[in-house]
Structure 1
């Protein structure tokens, strides 16, 4: 009997270490920020960048009243979004780029909560995210509707039901995105408020909301990452300005 239990225990130990090995491989098989993205981590004449968790991008010589908290895509190094964050900060927003455990926002859905608490000087908050990060941001938003001015989804969708709320939602994705599950977009569109804004960026794909190279399974973009991000910033500015007008 002891021999049987010894074999069972030995087998469980082997399975455990195989699982740990596979998990370690999975979380380390991520998308790294490009050199171009890393350059955007440096302060310039318009934006001051503060290192830490979260990475913070502040407009220079301006007191930002609007804050945007960004959840990175799954297994994408958060620094990959620095160019997009810097461009948003240049428009006068305080931008906070969250560092997710194991590169997966699912492990810290409420990351925005502590950021908001630590920055009472911000009067209006938007939570945003790319891909998996967007879905997790939507879950956070569903539990913090009264504290937020809006939700921004980049190549993402909401599994949380926001349909009965008045939360403004902007959904952006590229026409050449082959990573985003379009069936899920259709299925979960009813989870968004009826008056949400949905914009398809002509020629854009999944990965070019960040700067981390080509993503497996993605479509070939017909525009540059710079152009896709320029359009994204333009749409976000318009979206936020609309909320100002409505209030």
Structure 2
């Protein structure tokens, strides 16, 4: 009798643990799909109409390339947490126009830290290119820092590294916004020691966290004082100049 009761208790305990796990996994999956910040239709439509670039919705990601096909280098770009990858097309189109093929990834479950794929999972979108850099926005930048082993350079948008790259032989450009309420200038400065001494850190006056994408305002962010057009031009100038050096 005692043994039978013990088995029932064990069975109910196992069912309880299983139910908790199912609820936890289900809740996490639901959370990753709720509140995804979608791309603004106007800027994306303008980018699609840009005759100087091509946009390919490829299996590896969204591929932006110069329309003349003259591209010798590539950039794999990882989106921020729960941000639609298409929200970065408008911001990165200028980089593609200048001759760098850009592959915007689609992180698993809309969160970069769930996506464990290596850089080659994305560079395969343009196998003719041998020189690749990696970059990302916000949490996407944190993930990009973990993918630098096979990259020539690192580009961070409103982000910073959790991995120590101070001793890496790596060119780094870190762009931040003076009005960023999420990856604040102070937080980015505090993590400066994790980047190589040669890293270039530039604060864009008037830019907020969401200024680095086209997905509308974001909770907890500051209020931008820079226009979208000026932001796009500034980011393009800084990134293109960085790659040209």
TM-score (ref. length: structure 2): 0.89
Q: CA deviation at 1:37?
A: 4.3
User: Is it true that 1:154 corresponds to 2:160 in the alignment?
Assistant: no
Aligned to 1:67: 74
Aligned to 1:206: 209
- Quote the offset at 1:20 in angstroms: 2.9
After superposition, the Cα gap between the structure-2 partners of 1:7 and 1:109, relative to the gap in structure 1 and judged at 3 Å, is closer
| Alignment match, 1:15 | 20
Structure 1 residue 190: deviation in Å?
0.8
So what's the TM-score if we normalise by structure 1? 0.88
Tell whether the 8 Å contact from 1:155 to 1:180 is kept in structure 2 after alignment: yes
- 8 Å CA contact 1:73–1:130 kept in 2: the answer is yes
Q: Does the Cα contact within 8 Å between 1:109 and 1:136 map onto a contact in 2?
A: no
State which structure, 1 or 2, has the greater radius of gyration over its C-alpha atoms. 2
Q: Which runs of 4+ in 1 moved over 6 A?
A: none
Is the contact between residue 163 and residue 194 of structure 1 (CA under 8 Å) also seen in structure 2? yes
The SS at the match of 1:51 is strand
Contact 1:47–1:60 (8 Å) recurs in 2: yes
Residue correspondences, number: 238
Alignment match, 1:27: 32
Match of 1:51 among 36, 40, 57: 57
What RMSD over aligned residues (CA atoms) do the two structures have, in Å?
1.9
| Structure 2: gaps spanning 5 or more residues | none
Q: Contact 2:156/2:175 (CA < 8 Å) preserved in 1?
A: yes
1:15/1:109 Cα in 2 relative to 1: closer, same or farther (>3 Å)? closer
